[in-house]
Structure formats: C-alpha cells, structure tokens
Chains A and B, each alone.
Chain A
Amino acid sequence: MNQNDTLIRVNGSGSGADAKRAVLTDERKLAELLGWASLGLGLPEVASPGRFDRLIGVRPDPKPRAITVVACGLRELAAAAGILTLARARPVGWLWARVAGDALDLALLTQALRNRPERPARLAGAIGAVVAISAADVYAAIQNSRHKQENSPATEEQPMDVKAAITVRRSPEEVYAFLHDFQNLPRFMYHIESVKPGAGGRWHWKAKAPLGSLEWDAEVTEDRLNELIAWRSVENSKITNSGRVQFSPAPRDQGTEIRLELHYDAPGGPLGDALAKLVAQGRTPQAKDDLRRLKQAMETGEVVRSDASPEGATASRLLKQRPAQPLDTEDAQSSARHMERSYV
C-alpha cells in the first residue's frame, strides 16, 4: 500500500485534537496550491479588472473589463471556493473545471493578441503563464482522478471519529477493572474476535472482517485508575486506530458515566472493501450497541438475547433478523458460546 495515497494520521498523545491533524498528500497539496492561485487571480480580476487588464497588456476597455470580471474573476473565485472549502477532500471536479477555464483564458488572450494590443510583450508573458498553469492543472486533475479511482467510494471516508456514552449502574472501580482487562472487550464488542496480551505491554487485537480477520497491535497511551484508559494502534498497523474510554461517577447513585471515543483511519489500497466494512462497523450505532451490551453484561450478568437476535442484536443486521420464534436445536447450540460471555 502506498502511504502517499492515504491520509497519514499525526497522533502524538492520542488525544482528539491531535488525532484530527492530518498531513495532506502530494497531489492534494498541489490541488490546494492551485486553489490559492485561483483566489490570487480571482480577487484582483473582480476587484480591479481595469488595472488587471492593463497588467496583462490588454486595453482597459469596458468590454474586456466585463469579460474579465464575469468569465475570469468569478470563475476563479468559484474554483477557489470549491477546491479550498466545498470539496476539499475530493477536488477532482473543480480541478477539471480549472482546466476548462484555462482553455477559455487562452482563447480570450489569443483573441486579445489578434486585436493589436497596447503591450504585446506583456500579453505574450500572460499567455506563457497561463500555459504553465494549464500544465499544472492538467497534471493535478489527472493525479487526483487516479487517486479517486483507486479508492472505492466506501473507503474514501475521512478518518472516523465515533463518540458514544452510557450510564451503567456499577461503580467506576468495577467498570474500570472490567475494561482494564482488554481481553473482556470481545464479550460486548462483537466485531472484535479477541484481544490478547502481547510483548512489551502491547495488546494484540483480532477483528472479524468479511475476508477472514484483521489483526493489529495496540499500546496503552494513558491509564488513570478508575478514570481513563486510552490506547492506539502501533505504527505500521494495517488499520490505524485509537480510542479512549473515560469513567466518572453519575449523579445520585446512578452508577458510572462511560464515555467512549474511537478514531479510525480507513486506508485505501488492496484491502479496500474489507477494511471499509470493518471500519464502518466502528461507526456510532455499532459503538452504541457495544456500550449497551457492556451495560447488559455488567448490570444483568449477561448479554441479553431474544429469539430474533440470539447472539445479541447488532445495528448492522437489524434487517436480517430471524422471526421471533424459538431457535431449533442446531442454532441454539451454535450460538451457545455466547452463553460463556457472562460478566459475573
């Protein structure tokens, strides 16, 4: 997998603010530069078209001035808005629009050259500049288009931040102790197959994925007794992720407020769909279901099962539920392993 094709997370201390800082890849950088170029050209074209025309060697008559404002200035500002704000993550369309705009500019400038300009040298210089910019635009548009094709739409996600919270009628001490042993996580996080202690205080995570499973190592980045646990995947993990869970006493005797934050990166490249699906499972509904099952396990002793969803419900398969009828013996046995997932 080419790291340049993806957003690389800068994740210093594992905190949310740092996690959101991302380094842009080369072709995105070029796109952004072109966006600023649009702004730099568009503003003077709109604000002072007469002076602009004189600068590029065109006679400052009313007609070229109007063309400068409408056909060039506003167009450049639109491109700047598109590339820098509206479609910042995927500016491909706007880049191709810039290419079309370059063609228009060249046509207008060539036309101006034929009309016996005041200063042909300046005009020729302007044409040269536009040709150079056009080359950059075509290059950027092609590069960004290629990047778009390499990623299926599902994997084009931005890094995902998931937040969920729940109140559990247990003390912060009990909740902290239960979650501090990461081996307990698969009891209520159904897309996690196992978490096992590894070398150097790291944890080896194994997650279910559509094509087999995904594994990575994570290290605890912060650990405050009965208050907070934070972790993140180590470098070179196939799936870049981090998370933190905070505990605080709920008002009155209502137990513990648990706040969960997860950050995922969905990398492009060969793992494509499989990763995207897995990561999609980390989205908010899934996290909420995870917390509900944690609550069920801690409050009632077990994950609660109904006939329609004997393995405990998951948001992703609400539409695929069985009818509310008892399981036949075979199904009951195959889902019996969940019985072992009791808390008490």
Chain B
Amino acid sequence: MRANVWSGRNTVQVENVPDPKILNSRDAIVKITSTAICGSDLHLYDGYIPTMKKGDILGHEFMGEVTDIGRDVGNLKVGDRVVVPFPIACGNCNACRAELYSCCENSNPNAGIAEKLMGHPTAGIFGYSHMTGGYAGGQAEAARVPFADVGPIKIENGFTDEQVLFLSDIFPTGYMGAEMCDIQRGDVIAVWGAGPVGQFAIASAKMLGAERVIAIDHVDYRLRMAVEKAGADETINFEEQPDVVEQLKLLTAGRGPDACIDAVGMEAEHGHGPIHAYDRVKQAARLETERPHAIREAVMACRSGGIISVIGVYGGLIDKFPIGAVMNRSLTIKSGQCHVQRYMRPLLERISNGEIDPSFVVTHRMELGKAPEGYETFKHKRDECVKVVLKP
C-alpha cells in the first residue's frame, strides 16, 4: 500500500510499504477513506519530537472501513465504517477505567522511553514517534488498529467523512480544552491559537455556555474563521496588538479571562522580538524543547483563581515559566492529551443534533500522494490553509 512516511526534518514522502496485518487478537485493519494532517504532525515534521525514525508512517486522524478483525474483537465486523481515536487504549487498566485513555498503562510498548522523559509512561499513539509506541500511522491506504474493541466508533448515519473525521482528535481535543475550564455562567474564555484545535475549543466553549470567547492569533484569516464559523466574540491579533495581556485586561475591565486555553503548544509564534529570539535559539540548540510563549502569556493574563487549560502539545522542558504567578494568584493548570474515547459518543450526538458541523475547518482536500505538498501548505499557512484532508 501507499503511505506518507517521515524521512527527516521537513521531509515527508509517499512510499510503497507492506500492507498492515493483525498482530494482536484485538486488532482490526481499517481501509482508510479520509485522513487529516494535524497541527501536532507539524511538530514531528519540524523535528521537535524526539524518537522519530526514518520510514515512520505519520498520521493519527483517520477513518475508514473495517476489512479484517482479530479473534477477540466482538463489537465490529468487516464492512463497518469507523472513526479511530488517536490514543491507543486497552480499556482494562486503571487509567482506562478512570477514562484517562491517553494515559493507558498498557498500549505503549516503548513505555520505558516515555517513562524516562515524562516520569511515567503514556499511551500509544498512531504515527507519533517511538516514544508513543512506534505504531504505524493513518496517512496511508490502510492501518492496523490495536484494541479495536475499545477505540473505534461506528458511524451508522449518512454523515460525510468530513463531518465525523475530526472525532478522531481535534474536535474532542478542543472540547476537552473547554470542558477543563469548568465554564460558569458569565465566564469569559480566552483561546490562544486559532488553528484547527483552537477553532474547536472556541466552538466548544460557546457550546458549554461561555459568555464571551476571545480568540488570539496573528493570522487574519484564521481569526476571521474563529468569528464567522466557530463563534468567537472578539479577537486579538498579536501582530497588531503585541501586548496581549494588556488587551485582555481592557476587554475584561481589568479582571482577566476566567479561564485561558492554550491551543498553541511548543512552537509558539510571537511578535515580541527578544523573547521569541531567546526561545528560538534555545529550542534550536536543544537547550529547551519548547517555545512556550502562549502559556506564559496565558498565565499572566488569567484572572486570579482562574484556570489554565493546556491542550497545545508540549514535549519536554520549558524555561522562564511564571510559576510565581501561578502560585501567588491561585491559578489551576489542567492539561492532557485528549482522552478521545471519552468524548466520541457524546460529540457524535452533538453532531447528530445539529449543534455543530465540524467540517467547517476543512480548507484543503488532496489526494494522499500529495501529502508532502499538504504539509508545506499547512506549515507555511499558504493559501489560507486551516485543515488539510487527504484522500487515499
């Protein structure tokens, strides 16, 4: 089959690879009909996630048709149409029983590496480095899905692929970001990053009853989408208004947002020259793994007693983190790779109810063979790109 493989920093290519096979009795093989490039794939593309290997198949947002199942998969049958969640979770361990699927204790065969880097191991993830298991990803014509009796959700109504594909990652991720804000009546929520995850965080914050949502980015067309499609009430373009913290104080009459969502993560762009340069140099020299500007700003902006909800991806260590502000102003930090399995059913219901149509983020559709072009377009935000969907 054909698959999009990582072959070094800023390089992906579509190659012929062997077809996936059942390796465990709870596996399924899915013939992929739609697969997307995620913002977090860009962290791999840019070379900032360690433990990548040349030839790794990328991709963790995919859906398709079941073509083979292992002997212990009772809930699926060949021909079923499924969306596959990006974390691989066994459903049996204590983490899974607590619905902390992205912290599954069994699904990462390389738990030893993850434990070294993070203190404790994390779940396996499709196409997302060897630290998360070394699983072949879904930017391919087919994929092996472990624990198919736990993860994939059957799609039985007549939705288009694009309406349900994002149940695999970015919709639940944005939703969990908003849910962690514990939104109360009258709350103002600020969202850093108006990329695909940020769009869903904004839309979800509105769905969960936020009074006002403020979107922060420096890309005009994305801020426009945040207002027109996701439902943001206000925007801050930090290229025009670099002092985001001060802007937020003006917008909230000095209080600050009740909760701040970081939907940016480790490769923040920012207008502030010296600080950005500092992080850029340290990150390039591998002295810190992150450029953590968004979260620094979120901490400084948040009202006292408020919540910082981190769904942007971080990989390791950051410098100059304002822990003093967190401590002295009673802030709470909540975070996590999304526990997608927890949200797929309720969010599919919201799609069925017509509360949201996630396909609004799609700006580019390409054949799988054009994946390298898709990565470049997405990375450099060419042609007003927000989300690229690949068709095998």
The interface of chain A, by Cβ under 8 A from chain B, is 167, 169, 254-255, 285, 288-289, 292, 295-296, 299-302, 304-310, 312-313, 315, 318, 321-329, 332, 335, 339, 342
Contacts of A308 in B (CB 8 A): 53, 56, 109-110, 130, 133-135
> Do A309 and B109 contact each other (CB < 8 Å), given the known contacts A302-B26, A324-B134, A325-B3?
yes
Interface digits, B124-147 against A, CB 8 Å rule (1 contact, 0 not)? 100100100111110000001011
CB proximity to A under 8 Å, residues B132-185? 133-137, 144, 146-147
Contacts of A167 in B (CB 8 A): 94
Contacts of B90 in A (CB 8 A): 296, 299-300, 304
Pair A325/B136 contact, Cβ less than 8 Å? yes
> Do A326 and B112 contact each other (CB < 8 Å), given the known contacts A295-B106, A299-B93, A300-B106?
no
Pair A324/B146 contact, Cβ less than 8 Å? no
Pair B53/A306 contact, Cβ less than 8 Å? no
In the docked arrangement, what's the CA distance between A295 and B19, Å?
Answer: 29
Pair A304/B107 contact, Cβ less than 8 Å? yes
Pair A304/B106 contact, Cβ less than 8 Å? yes
Interface digits, B72-90 against A, CB 8 Å rule (1 contact, 0 not)? 1000000000000000001
Contacts of B106 in A (CB 8 A): 292, 295-296, 299-300, 304
> Do A323 and B18 contact each other (CB < 8 Å), given the known contacts A296-B106, A308-B130, A308-B133?
no
Contacts of A325 in B (CB 8 A): 3, 5, 17-18, 55-57, 136
- Which of A167, A306, A332 lies at the interface centre, i.e. has the most chain B CB atoms within 10 A of its CB? A306
**B54 contacts partner chain A, Cβ-Cβ < 8 Å:** yes
Contacts of B144 in A (CB 8 A): 307, 326
Contacts of B24 in A (CB 8 A): 302, 304-305, 339
Q: Smallest Cβ distance from B384 to chain A, in angstroms?
A: 32
**B113 contacts partner chain A, Cβ-Cβ < 8 Å:** yes
**B276 contacts partner chain A, Cβ-Cβ < 8 Å:** no
Pair B97/A326 contact, Cβ less than 8 Å? no
The interface of chain B, by Cβ under 8 A from chain A, is 3, 5, 17-21, 23-26, 53-57, 72, 90, 92-94, 97, 105-113, 115, 124, 127, 130, 133-137, 144, 146-147
Pair A324/B94 contact, Cβ less than 8 Å? no
In the docked arrangement, what's the CA distance between A111 and B68, Å?
Answer: 93
* A312, closest chain B residue (CB): B109
In the docked arrangement, what's the CA distance between A304 and B96, Å?
Answer: 15
Pair A307/B111 contact, Cβ less than 8 Å? no
Pair A326/B147 contact, Cβ less than 8 Å? no
Pair B134/A307 contact, Cβ less than 8 Å? yes
> Do A301 and B53 contact each other (CB < 8 Å), given the known contacts A296-B106, A326-B144?
no
Pair A318/B53 contact, Cβ less than 8 Å? no
B113 partner, pick from A300, A301, A306, A318, beta carbons under 8 A: A318
A324 partner, pick from B18, B21, B57, beta carbons under 8 A: B57
- Which of B20, B54, B92 lies at the interface centre, i.e. has the most chain A CB atoms within 10 A of its CB? B92
> Do A324 and B109 contact each other (CB < 8 Å), given the known contacts A299-B92, A306-B134?
no
> Do A324 and B127 contact each other (CB < 8 Å), given the known contacts A169-B97, A300-B92?
yes
* A325, closest chain B residue (CB): B17
> What are 27 sample pairs from A and B whose C-beta atoms fall under 8 A apart?
A167-B94, A169-B94, A255-B94, A285-B112, A288-B112, A295-B93, A295-B105, A300-B26, A301-B25, A301-B26, A304-B90, A305-B24, A306-B135, A307-B136, A308-B110, A308-B134, A309-B109, A313-B109, A313-B110, A321-B130, A322-B53, A322-B55, A323-B5, A323-B56, A324-B53, A339-B23, A342-B25
Contacts of B54 in A (CB 8 A): 323
* B20, closest chain A residue (CB): A326
B19 partner, pick from A305, A312, A313, A326, beta carbons under 8 A: A326
Pair A332/B21 contact, Cβ less than 8 Å? yes
Pair B94/A315 contact, Cβ less than 8 Å? no
Contacts of A312 in B (CB 8 A): 109
